[in-house]
Amino acid sequence: MKTLEVAFVGNPNVGKSAWINALSNAQFKVGNWSGVTVEKKEASVQWNKQMVHLIDLPGTYALEDGTSEEAITARYLYHEHVDLIVNVVDATNLSRNLYLTLKLRQLHLPMIVIFNFMDEVNKYDMQIDIAHFREVLQLDIYPYSAFDHEGSDIVKQAILSHVCKPCTYDPCIPSKDLDRYRNAYHQLSGRIPMYMECSDDDIKWMTFSVLYRNQKMIKQCNAWNIDVNTLTVSDKEEELAMTEWCDEQMEYVKDPLKRLQKTRRIDHFLLHPIFGWLFMIFSFSLLMMFVFQGSAPFNDFIDFFINDMVMKYANAALSFLPSSARDLILHGVIAGVGGVLVFVPLMAFLYFALSLLEESGYMARIAFLLDRLMQRFHLNGKSFVALLLGFGCNVPAIYATRTLANEKQKKLTALLVPFMSCSARLPVYMLFAAAFFKGKAAITVLCIYGIGIMIALMTALVCSHMDHFHDDSLFVMELPPYRMPSIFVIFHKVKQEVMGYVRKACGVVLWAMVFLWGLSYFPNGDVTNGYLAQFSKHVSFVFEPLGFGTRWESVASLPGSIVAKETVVGFMDQILLQNTVDEIEPIDPVEDIKTIAFEAGAAGKGFLCAWIPHMAKEPQNASLVSAISQLWTDKKANLRAFSFMVYLLLTIPCVMSLQALGREYGWKLMALSIMMALIIPYLVSFGIFQFFSLLT
């Protein structure tokens, strides 16, 4: 028995994913469409011994080539086998949604329509004449919400019963054009050559095409020696006629604008040219605090669990292995996996926050407010959201570019994200600022952040002139009504995104950690004499024009920063202070369980206390600060340290960011990012050091 192909089609944000989730019991898979970064959601289920493949086509307003989403949907419906179309429409906004329904009817495929958000229809006391729409559309309509379990069962049966059902749809004509349509129908039906053997349905759609001057149909008429000028045709385009028809049907919807009254009152404040910006800044401050401070205690707990507990027990279990093999497993494999898992709470908090903004409708308002500013740099409003998140962590910021609608905008924004100084770089800045800029650490770090923003905007201006990133299309976004987000939908999105993140991230990071471990460990197990240290001593002269190349330690810390920027601190600690790894404490399962429970409780307590804003404190390691201050002692020492911080800001991002960039947008864009991260930081640090050297 063959698998039935069922395509869910609708405007953006009408609940297609929610319906597939409800019909498949949350078993759908998430991937990317071939060649693009648009998400592909699908599920295979078995109903009454019949296999059914449900696929969520990207949201679109029409079936013409446009954005990548529209092109994917159009190509799939025109060229792939589809047994049934499930058209999901927003019942609270039929005037907008029915246009796509009319376009789908022209495909002459079996189709059913779901009037979604019926709970909101009832909430706003709207009344929709469902019987009328069934009659005029000649389609079965199912008015249910995706969270209505009874409705899910009915829709399942409807899908199975309609897949083989023959479909014939009459054209929907605006009332003003009905007389023209009838006259054109009678004129055309008498002139079509007999050998064509056209059915009445065929003639109706030919008449519709001729009536609204479809160029292909006009050429066909000319081939049949039919003078179109003698037919009764309209002076309007087909799209305008469809829009008029949709507007006419609103008389069968009682008070369709009532739902917008509350939204308009809220927008009067949130889109205000002054108060709107103030509220957006306030809300983003809360967002950043929620994502990064809220997740920090849980990140620390996972870090503690892996490095203090898993490492301890793994070291004991592997005691029979040679020291090199044990070190590989501990500091290569386990540390690599731990580097991925430590980010899981951060990613969960990020996707929760983004889903909350998206589901509530406020994300579209943020993009609207920022669009004019970002257009000056050939970006759009949604680009700002991703770039801002980059100050916390580049990895989720790159994944956040999925929310952009345009493919070129996605790639350009993702390329700029690594220039945003992530929080992992902050400990390094604070160490060097405390060592070389006593009393001016805050302003020094602020300058570093400013340089990153400036370089990102300059890069955007340059890249926007390249064909690969240049885009002249207008940023068009419908402002959806405000809705109370569904916690079920949000948590489901978080679950899917986090699982996808872990699956995608483990492989690349693990191998990168093992590779860098080998460079540091061999040939004699001493990091100060490993291959990495030896190589750094030989190439330090390349970085001398940048100021910091006079010390090989600073150069040797850079490759490790590709794994994680925090490793610079650990590397400096190990090299400058000659620290050794402490012996693993004796195993005591009872005490360790108590410790884990205590740390878990501390993480929960830390989460509750995370909502009190606090400034980053200067590093507590006074001995390391003192050692770093001795790296350079000449009159240009401060300038050398500043040049090193700028280079670390702009250099190759961590392997997690590279992996995210490669997975989302392909290895070519990742290679371009690496190339830029090799050239730009060198030029900027060179310029800063050489220019200010002339002033000292």
Q: How is the chain split into domains, by residue range?
A: 4-162, 175-254, 281-584+616-693
Task: Give residue 414's pLDDT.
Answer: 92
- pLDDT tens-place string over residues 487-496: 877 887 788 7
pLDDT band at 164 (very low <50, low <70, confident <90, very high): confident
Q: In what order do the strands lie in the sheet with 50-56?
A: 29-32, 39-47, 50-56, 4-9, 84-90, 111-116, 140-143
Distance CA 90, CA 145 (A): 10
Q: What is the mean pLDDT of the segment spanning 419-433?
A: 82
> pTM to 2 decimals?
0.67
Say if residues 9 and 40 touch (Cβ distance below 8 Å).
no
Q: What is the mean pLDDT of the segment spanning 168-185?
A: 85
Distance CA 514, CA 507 (A): 11
Q: Which 8-state DSSP code applies to residue 17?
A: H
Say if residues 638 and 436 touch (Cβ distance below 8 Å).
yes
Say if residues 452 and 443 touch (Cβ distance below 8 Å).
no
Q: What are phi and psi of 583, to 5 degrees?
A: -70, 145
Contacts of 510 (CB under 8 A, 6+ apart): 333, 336, 337, 340
Task: Give residue 501's pLDDT.
Answer: 67
Closest listed residue to residue 25, CA positions, set 52, 63, 64: 52
> What region, left, alpha or beta, does residue 322 occupy, with left being phi > 0 and alpha being psi -120 to 50 degrees?
beta
- % of residues, the chain, pLDDT over 70: 87
Sign of CA dihedral 347, 351, 352, 353: positive
Task: Give residue 473's pLDDT.
Answer: 57
Greater confidence, 557 or 468?
557
pLDDT of 258 over the 80 cut: no
Task: Give residue 651's pLDDT.
Answer: 93
Question: Residue 4's beta-bridge partner residues?
Answer: 52
What's the token pair of residue 587? 């195993």
Q: What are phi and psi of 149, to 5 degrees?
A: -65, -35
Compute the residue count for the chain: 696
pLDDT band at 686 (very low <50, low <70, confident <90, very high): very high
Q: What is the mean pLDDT of the segment spanning 112-131?
A: 88
Task: Give residue 674's pLDDT.
Answer: 94
pLDDT band at 31 (very low <50, low <70, confident <90, very high): low
pLDDT band at 620 (very low <50, low <70, confident <90, very high): very low
Say if residues 189 and 224 touch (Cβ distance below 8 Å).
no
Task: Give residue 369's pLDDT.
Answer: 84
Average pLDDT, the chain: 82
CATH dotted code for 4-162: 3.40.50.300
pLDDT band at 54 (very low <50, low <70, confident <90, very high): very high
3-state secondary structure of 551: coil
Contacts of 458 (CB under 8 A, 6+ apart): none
Question: Residue 253's beta-bridge partner residues?
Answer: 128
Count CA atoms within 13 Å of residue 447 on its CB side: 13
Task: Give residue 138's pLDDT.
Answer: 92
- Alpha-helical runs (H) found in 361-486: 362-375, 381-389, 394-400, 407-416, 426-436, 441-463
Question: Residue 141's beta-bridge partner residues?
Answer: 113
pLDDT of 153 over the 80 cut: yes
Task: Give residue 517's pLDDT.
Answer: 77
Task: Give residue 236's pLDDT.
Answer: 72
Task: Give residue 617's pLDDT.
Answer: 43
Greater confidence, 437 or 330?
437
pLDDT of 136 over the 60 cut: yes
Q: What is the mean pLDDT of the segment spanning 2-26?
A: 86
Task: Give residue 232's pLDDT.
Answer: 61
- C-alpha 417 chain-centroid distance: 13
Closest listed residue to residue 140, CA positions, set 148, 149, 130: 130
pLDDT of 650 over the 80 cut: yes
- C-alpha 535 chain-centroid distance: 38
Secondary-structure percent of the chain, ordered helix, strand, coil, rounded to 5: 65, 5, 30
Compute, in degrees rounded to 10, the torsion defined by CA atoms 435, 440, 441, 443.
-150
Lowest mean per-residue pLDDT among 158-162, 526-530, 668-672: 526-530
Lowest mean per-residue pLDDT among 65-69, 101-105, 305-309: 65-69
Say if residues 453 and 650 touch (Cβ distance below 8 Å).
no
pLDDT of 253 over the 50 cut: yes
Question: Residue 115's beta-bridge partner residues?
Answer: 89, 143
Q: What are phi and psi of 563, to 5 degrees?
A: -70, -50
| Beta strands per DSSP E along 173-318 | 253-254
Task: Give residue 286's pLDDT.
Answer: 80
Lowest mean per-residue pLDDT among 41-45, 157-161, 229-233, 365-369: 229-233
Contacts of 569 (CB under 8 A, 6+ apart): 427, 428, 431, 624
CB crowding 15-52: b at 16 or more within 10 Å, else e: bbbbbbbbbbeeebeeeebeebbbbbbbbebeeeeeeb
Task: Give residue 574's pLDDT.
Answer: 64
Count CA atoms within 13 Å of residue 333 on its CB side: 11
Greater confidence, 310 or 350?
310
